Amino acid sequence: MAWRHSLRFRLALVYTLVALALITVIGLGVMTLLLRQMDAQFQTRLDERADTLAEAWLGGQQGLGKTPGGAGTYTMIVDEDGQVLAATPSLRQYEKAPFPFEGQRTVQLGGSSARTATRKLGGFGTLWVALPEDDLVAARQSATNALLLALLVTPVLMLVVGWGVGRRALAGLGEAADLADHIDPTRSVATLPLPAREDEVHRLLAALNRLLVRIEAVQAREKQLLGQIVHELGAPLTVLKASLARAADRTRDPEVVRAALVTDELTFTTQDLMQLARGHLEMKVAWHFIPASALRGRLDRLVPGTSFAGDWGGMLLCDPDRLTQALRNLLANARRAAGPEGTVSLTLEETADHVTFTVRDSGPGLPPELGERIFEPFVSGSGSSGLGLSVARQIAALHGGTLTAGNAPGGGAQFVLTLPGVALGDEEDEEPAGQPGTALSAP
């Protein structure tokens, strides 16, 4: 399964996006709160420094560049006229000059940003204090980098962890899907194994098992009903077929002959329906060793207008009735596709390993969109019931052979039915394979 179609990947991706959104919102909220607290603490520190210096000045301690200011603090005394009376050593260039930072909340000093505060000194003027914001800026940058790192690393970790956790949590679904792919609908419907933990996966698989049981019960009822219908049709069709055959022999009326052919068609259709109702496993094969020419004669009567090619002088090991049914279905479909004016041919080729029957017609060929679906029941490309090809493939499989479909190189459809060849040894080494026209076995 491609990763983009995986439920585990989609769940992991959803959880990752949700986690990313939560981390972004929570991280921004925490960082904003933290920075506000740091800013408030910095402002408190600045105010305390300004209050301490103002008290020291008013108390007679007028050494602005020394102990009261502390390291990293800028101070100046501004008189009532806006002239700088005194300043810390790093700001001596501003003494005896107009105060340059009037009304500025933040100033640049020594290449760094500094926040300012002022205090009144009574009749002496104003105390101006500036405190560098280097630590505050560094803290802001560190918090921003931490948030960006979390936003980059967390999605990757969440995706990997989510993929692993999802793979383990949904392992039961994967195993159930693998088992469901191997369920043979022609056999008894198998149930899916349930995980030990009764979670949502357990509930889903349990519901699927109940559905499979209901499907099997419905299929059984349908097969039973279909078998009863076919059984009820079989007896009247047999009588009708015999009566029309005798009437056709006596009168040679074309309409009666045509009606007899229609009863043959209905008889084979009921056989197909019966085989569909019984299923592949209930079919039996009665093996006979018969001349190929006998099979050819039966097919020639059932599907008039068929041209035969190849070597029909050998012997065949098969169930004559079922092989006739399979080939007749193929020839009838070919006749429908070719139309009254078209051609239908059956070629027999025999080797030491295989016996091959090839049916060709001059019709439009098989629809390419059907592919192997043409062998499914009730799927038809020629307007028939769609049972014939499905039954023919089942019969080929019962004989240990295969049935394939395609389009002939010269146009038209081509069906190839291949059976295992018959290898007979010397009489003193092996038991006789059987006499022509006698049953060998009925497994």
Rounded distance between C-alpha atoms, residue 186 and residue 280, angstroms: 7
Output the pLDDT for position 26: 86
> Global pTM?
0.46
Helix (H) or strand (E) holding 33: helix 7-58
Task: Specify whether the CB–CB gap between 346 and 309 falls below 8 A.
Answer: yes
Task: Specify whether the CB–CB gap between 378 and 385 falls below 8 A.
Answer: yes
**Strand 306-310 relative to strand 344-350: parallel, antiparallel, unpaired?**
parallel
**For 260-264, 316-320, 328-332, which range has the lowest pLDDT when averaged over its residues?**
260-264
Give 107-155 as a DSSP string. Answer: EEETTEEEEEEEEE-GGG-EEEEEEE-HHHHHHHHHHHHHHHHHHHHHH
Return the CATH class of domain 182-282: mainly alpha
pLDDT tens digits, one per residue of 229-257: 777 777 787 888 788 888 878 887 878 87
In the chain, where the domains are located: 3-165, 182-282, 284-420
Q: Which residue has the higher pLDDT, 15 or 316?
A: 316
Q: 3-165 has which fold?
A: Beta-Lactamase (3.30.450)
pLDDT tens digits, one per residue of 332-382: 889 888 888 899 999 999 998 899 999 999 988 888 877 787 887 766 555
Rounded distance between C-alpha atoms, residue 153 and residue 87, angstroms: 50
DSSP bridge pairs for 86: 77
Rounded distance between C-alpha atoms, residue 272 and residue 274, angstroms: 5
Task: Supply 82's token pair.
Answer: 């806006």
pLDDT tens digits, one per residue of 66-97: 434 455 789 999 998 889 998 888 888 889 99
Query: Is-same-fold flag (182-282; 284-420)?
Result: no
DSSP bridge pairs for 307: 345
Output the pLDDT for position 350: 92
Average pLDDT for 313-331 = 90
pLDDT tens digits, one per residue of 394-410: 889 989 999 999 998 88
Homologous superfamily assigned to 284-420 = Histidine kinase-like ATPase, C-terminal domain (3.30.565.10)
